[in-house]
Amino acid sequence: MAQKFRALLDLCRRRGFLYQSAEIYGGLRGAYDYGPLGVELKKNILNSWWRRHVYYRDDVVGLDTSIITPHPVLKASGHVDEFTDLLVDCNLTKERFRPDKAPEIKLDKHGNIPIIAPDKTTALEWKEILEKQIIPNVKMSVEGNRILIYAKEVNLPDADGQNGSITFEMWNEQPSVQLAYHGYVEPNTNSPFLTDSRPFNLMFKTFLDPIDPIERVIQTTLDNAEQSKATIRQTVDDQLKPSTVFLRPETAQGVFVNFEQIVRTMKKTPPFGIAQVGKSFRNEIRLEHGIFRTPEFEQMELEYFVSPWEATHYFEYWRKERYNWWLEHACHPENFRQRDHTSKEMAHYATGCTDVEYLFPWGWGEIEGVAHRGGYDLAQHIKNTGANFEITDANPSLSERVQKAGNGNVDLIPTEKPAKYIPNVIESSCGLNRAMLAYLCDAFHEVDEGNGKPPRTVLRLDPRLAPIKCAVMPLVGKPELNSLSEKVAKTLRRKGWYTVVESQKLKIGKRYYRHDEIGTPWCVTVDYQSLEDDTVTIRDRDTGNQERVHWKEVNHVIDGKLMKGEADNLLV
Ligand code: GAP
């Protein structure tokens, strides 16, 4: 599986989907640039999402808000105080990791703890650090890149991660030493020599200020040199606060703070939604699996505002709607699933959350969260600004509204219609980069032609998502076919489809295979017969079947094929 994922990443690099950012300078960990094909794939996923949630409905409008977000907005939303992950450092390897994702300790058959170093030299270095700094006199041995630590007893912690311990054996009958064990070890090495966990805010902080804030930090520190570290920190924070801004960690807050503007200018009343697509930023402790977890990523978020008594209904509605969207573009729907959050996992604002997950080569991973945010966000912004976010429900009677919502399980139906209420929010929050990665994994197929050659790759992307829709191919070495090829390409380009003309000196079969590898659903071949009767062939990526049509028909035929997927889904 890992090999297949490496092959996919290699394809992405070779064929212009993804590049390491600033590669000529050695690259930046976790930062990626999207090449010509990556841009198209990402844009096509986004367009499908936007079409479905904005253009095909009359109850959702779009918005594009600022990435730079003032401190008070994110203080009110709870992100300044609560948007944290726990962080642990390994005293031995110096790795930093999230304990909630870390594995339990592994013991060998004698109950001892193997620590796996990258190589023999590192194992010897770590042995010395253990002996001199971490746990002097602990009984251990080194075999190749493995350090074996002798453990007398390992007590597992309780459900809260407390009261676990490891008792170590010592040389020369010295009294054994006990260390706390919270149920996890450093993921790469199985090392249990860890710091306590501490919360770590994930937001990128910066300063909107013409004066270098570092100067103010230095001056404040010098002025308070006699004070304790905590006091200096507080004074520095107070100094910087007026110019502190954050790169937004989710696009949603931009939607909430504009709620009243949209209601007023677009004449909307619940139920209605606001859609936004844009970049978000998180100082992630662990960057992993290519574009799966990066500090800079794009989100497609829909905040759907409803009355409190319709919230459960719409939570169910959006869970289904969003899951169906994922399945509609999938080759292997069995690799997508929904998973409800436990109360421990839930974000600080949510009263219910269901993730959509994809079975990546390393296991199930979240690609979207559908959350019932209740009235939390709007209420917080009302509390902090006095904003007028309440809805006065003047229109249809409650029972009509309930019927309109088309459900029998409306919760919290008040017996008296309230004059005013704060809308609840049902949110669908989907990572665009993760969507791209999931669909690439889903589409990646290795086909063995049975000819003794290594298998070739076919990306079976949904044609609506495929970066290049059509490759037009005149037969090799026949310049008289070029003009018709260009004409066909022009009609396809005018439809807004990314179309290329492939006239390299490669056999037609090889050119087909090169396009199969990047997911091009249709290749149009211009041959001798084309000059006689104006027909060309359209070859299908997945079946290899070819149909011959008049060249002027190509765009209609392809339009029909693309719209078929779209129309089928609309009937659902
Ligand atoms: N507004 C709600 C919200 O942001 P979230 O579960 O934290 O919820 C939503 O994020 C989605 O954003 C995730 O399901 C994932 O697809 C994407 N996402 C979150 N952090 C990411 C990261 N560091 N890199 C790439 N995608 C990320």
SS3 for 123-147, per residue? HHHHHHHHHHHHCCCECEEEECCEE
Distance between CA 537 and CA 527 in Å, rounded?
8
Distance between CA 505 and CA 511 in Å, rounded?
9
pLDDT at residue 452 greater than cutoff 50? yes
Ligand 1 centroid distance, CA of 134 (Å): 37
Ligand 1 centroid distance, CA of 301 (Å): 10
Ligand 1 centroid distance, CA of 306 (Å): 23
Amino acid letter, 21 = S
pLDDT at residue 382 greater than cutoff 50? yes
Q: At what angle do helices 554-570 and 311-328 cross, to 10 degrees?
A: 150
Which of 34, 366, 439 most suits a substitution to test ligand 1, by most atoms within 8 Å of the C-beta? Answer: 366
What is the reported pLDDT for 572? 43
Render pLDDT for 458-483 as a digit per residue (tens, 0 to 9).
Answer: 999 999 999 999 999 999 878 889 99
Q: Whose CA is nearest to atom 14 of ligand 1?
A: 368
Distance between CA 146 and CA 127 in Å, rounded?
10
Residue linked to tokens 């009261």: 163
Ligand 1 centroid distance, CA of 240 (Å): 29
Ranges 75-89, 160-174, 428-442, 461-475: which has the least confidence: 160-174
What is the reported pLDDT for 503? 85
The fold of the 39-83+249-440 domain, in CATH, is BirA Bifunctional Protein; domain 2 (3.30.930)
Q: Residue 84: which of 181, 197, 235 has the closest Cα?
A: 197
Neighbours of 270 (CB within 10 A): 22
pLDDT band, residue 397 (cuts 50/70/90): low
pLDDT at residue 412 greater than cutoff 70? no
Ligand 1 centroid distance, CA of 104 (Å): 26
Non-local CB neighbours of 348 within 8 Å, separated by 6+ positions: 78, 82, 83
Query: Ligand 1: which atom is nearest the Cα of residue 284?
Result: 23
Query: Ligand 1: which atom is nearest the Cα of residue 371?
Result: 2
348 compared with 190, residue with greater pLDDT: 190
Ligand 1 centroid distance, CA of 128 (Å): 41
Ligand 1 centroid distance, CA of 429 (Å): 7
Which of 45, 246, 429, 430 most suits a substitution to test ligand 1, by most atoms within 8 Å of the C-beta? Answer: 429
Query: Ligand 1: which atom is nearest the Cα of residue 251?
Result: 1
What is the reported pLDDT for 100? 87
Ligand 1 centroid distance, CA of 186 (Å): 24
% helix, strand, coil for the chain, step of 5 = 40, 25, 35
Query: Where are the domains positioned within the chain?
Result: 39-83+249-440, 86-199, 209-244, 453-567
Could you tell me which CATH class the domain 453-567 is placed in? alpha beta
3-state secondary structure of 17: coil
Q: Whose CA is nearest to atom 16 of ligand 1?
A: 431
What is the reported pLDDT for 253? 98
pLDDT at residue 165 greater than cutoff 60? yes
What is the reported pLDDT for 280? 98
* Structure tokens given for 228: 């304790």
* Residues written for the chain: 572
Non-local CB neighbours of 405 within 8 Å, separated by 6+ positions: 271, 310, 313, 314
3-state secondary structure of 245: strand
* Structure tokens given for 346: 């839930």
Render pLDDT for 206-265 as a digit per residue (tens, 0 to 9).
Answer: 999 888 888 888 988 999 988 998 999 899 888 888 899 999 999 999 999 999 999 999
Which of 84, 282, 299, 428 most suits a substitution to test ligand 1, by most atoms within 8 Å of the C-beta? Answer: 299
Ligand 1 first shell, C-beta below 6 A: 250, 252, 282, 284, 293-294, 297, 299, 301, 366-369, 427, 429-431, 433-434
- Encode 274-327 in three state secondary structure: EEEEEEEECCCCCCECHHHECCEEEEEEEEEEECHHHHHHHHHHHHHHHHHHHH
Query: Ligand 1: which atom is nearest the Cα of residue 356?
Result: 14
Element (H, E) at 71: helix 71-76
Q: Whose CA is nearest to atom 4 of ligand 1?
A: 250
Instruction: Quote the mean pLDDT of the chain.
Output: 92
pLDDT band, residue 407 (cuts 50/70/90): very low
Query: Ligand 1: which atom is nearest the Cα of residue 249?
Result: 4
Query: Ligand 1: which atom is nearest the Cα of residue 355?
Result: 14
What is the reported pLDDT for 398? 54
Q: At what angle do helices 554-570 and 482-493 cross, to 10 degrees?
A: 30
Ligand 1 centroid distance, CA of 430 (Å): 7
Ligand 1 centroid distance, CA of 279 (Å): 11
Render pLDDT for 83-122 as a digit per residue (tens, 0 to 9).
Answer: 999 999 999 999 999 998 899 999 999 899 999 999 999 9
Calculate the CA 389 to chain-centre distance.
Answer: 30
What is the reported pLDDT for 348? 82
Q: Whose CA is nearest to atom 20 of ligand 1?
A: 293
What is the reported pLDDT for 408? 46
pLDDT at residue 411 greater than cutoff 60? no
Q: Which residues pair with 164 in a beta bridge?
A: none
Which of 67, 73, 280 most suits a substitution to test ligand 1, by most atoms within 8 Å of the C-beta? Answer: 280
Render pLDDT for 13-52 as a digit per residue (tens, 0 to 9).
Answer: 999 999 999 999 999 999 999 999 999 999 999 999 999 9
Average pLDDT over residues 381-386: 96
pLDDT at residue 543 greater than cutoff 90? yes
Ligand 1 centroid distance, CA of 249 (Å): 9
Distance between CA 186 and CA 381 in Å, rounded?
40
* Structure tokens given for 128: 């010395």
Buried b or exposed e, range 534-572, using 16+ CB within 10 angstroms: ebbbbbebeeeeeeebebebbbeebeebbeebeeebeee
Cα angle: 355, vertex 359, 362; to 5 degrees: 115
* Structure tokens given for 476: 């090799």
pLDDT band, residue 401 (cuts 50/70/90): low
Ligand 1 centroid distance, CA of 465 (Å): 21
Distance between CA 420 and CA 142 in Å, rounded?
71
Query: Ligand 1: which atom is nearest the Cα of residue 435?
Result: 16
Give the phi and the psi of residue 54 in degrees, each rounded to 5. Answer: -115, -60
Element (H, E) at 272: strand 272-281
pLDDT band, residue 564 (cuts 50/70/90): confident
Distance between CA 450 and CA 535 in Å, rounded?
33
Q: Residue 272: which of 545, 497, 53, 557 has the closest Cα?
A: 53
Ligand 1 centroid distance, CA of 261 (Å): 26
pLDDT at residue 344 greater than cutoff 60? yes
Q: Is 423 left (phi over 0), alpha (psi -120 to 50) or beta?
A: beta
Indicate the pairing of strand 522-526 with strand 470-474.
Answer: parallel
Q: Is the peptide bond before 271 cis (omega within 30 degrees of 0)?
A: yes
Q: Whose CA is nearest to atom 6 of ligand 1?
A: 369
In the chain, the N- to C-terminal Cα span, in Å, equals 34
303, 322 Cβ separation under 8 angstroms: no
Which of 291, 434, 437, 439 most suits a substitution to test ligand 1, by most atoms within 8 Å of the C-beta? Answer: 434
pTM flag (> 0.85) = yes
Ligand 1 centroid distance, CA of 299 (Å): 7
Q: Is 213 left (phi over 0), alpha (psi -120 to 50) or beta?
A: alpha
